[in-house]
Structure 1
Amino acid sequence: MATVDECRQALQDLAERLERNAETVRERIDLDRTLACRISDLETAFHGRLTGGRLVNLTDGDDPKAKIAISASSDDLVALVRGDLDVTRAVANRRVSIKANPFDLLKLRKLL
């Protein structure tokens, strides 16, 4: 099981990767949404905002009003961010849950 710090680092790594590719991502994904990432086995969460092809304002804690909510175990979150776990298969196998409106899901698919 990954730790809270490893999950936080994985999300920060994702934010840095998006920052490096913001221009490319922004062209494909025009999102401005709040995001919550809930880690089921650690009973913790993080939240931030997806905007302009970036993940910004990443903070500890949940945002129950987030427009996009991702739930996963700590190991699955780390594997997703590293690229070791395919998001489509993870969702199909119920290892990862993503709650968002259908249009946002289509855009997120390009991001993940």
Structure 2
Amino acid sequence: MATIEECRTAIGKVSDEIAQLDEARRRKHIVDRTVSVTVSDLRTVFEMRLSMQGLVGVTDQPASAEIERAQVRITVSSDDLVALSEDRLDFAKALLSGRIKLDASLGDMMRMRKLL
């Protein structure tokens, strides 16, 4: 099981990858959205905002805390989150196999698929 700090680092890696995409691709696929990542085995929720600069304003709190419902909600284990950030786990395959749960509008799901 990965630690909260390893998960925070993984989110930072994903953010860096998004920020490094060429500007045309970011403009095409990124719409400003609130995002929450629930790390089920750590009972922790990371809240952030997806923007043209990547994932910004990342905070974490216990899953039991009262939080606003994010526009894009992801549930994943800590090890899978780290594996995703290191490209050892394919997002689409993990989603189809149930290792990742994604709760978002259809449009947001399609954008996330093209980004990741």
Query: Would you say same fold, with TM above 0.5?
Result: yes
For structure 1, the 5+ residue unaligned runs are none
Work out the CA distance in 1 between the residues paired with 2:31 and 2:11: 18
Q: Deviations over 1:41-70 (max 9, x none)?
A: 010111110122621111113644100000
Q: Could you say what the CA RMSD is over the residues aligned between the two structures, in angstroms? A: 1.6
1:21 Cα deviation from its structure 2 partner: 2.3
For structure 2, the 5+ residue unaligned runs are none
1:22 Cα deviation from its structure 2 partner: 5.6
Size of the aligned set, in residue pairs, is 112
Equivalence map 1:56-75=2 (5 Å): 56-61=56-61, 63-75=67-79
Classify the secondary structure of the residue corresponding to 1:31: coil
1:54 matched residue in structure 2:
54
Question: Conserved in 1, the CA contact under 8 Å of 2:33 and 2:51?
Answer: yes
- Give the share of equivalent positions with the same residue, in percent: 38
Equivalent position to 1:82, from 77, 83, 86: 86
TM-score, normalization: structure 1? 0.90
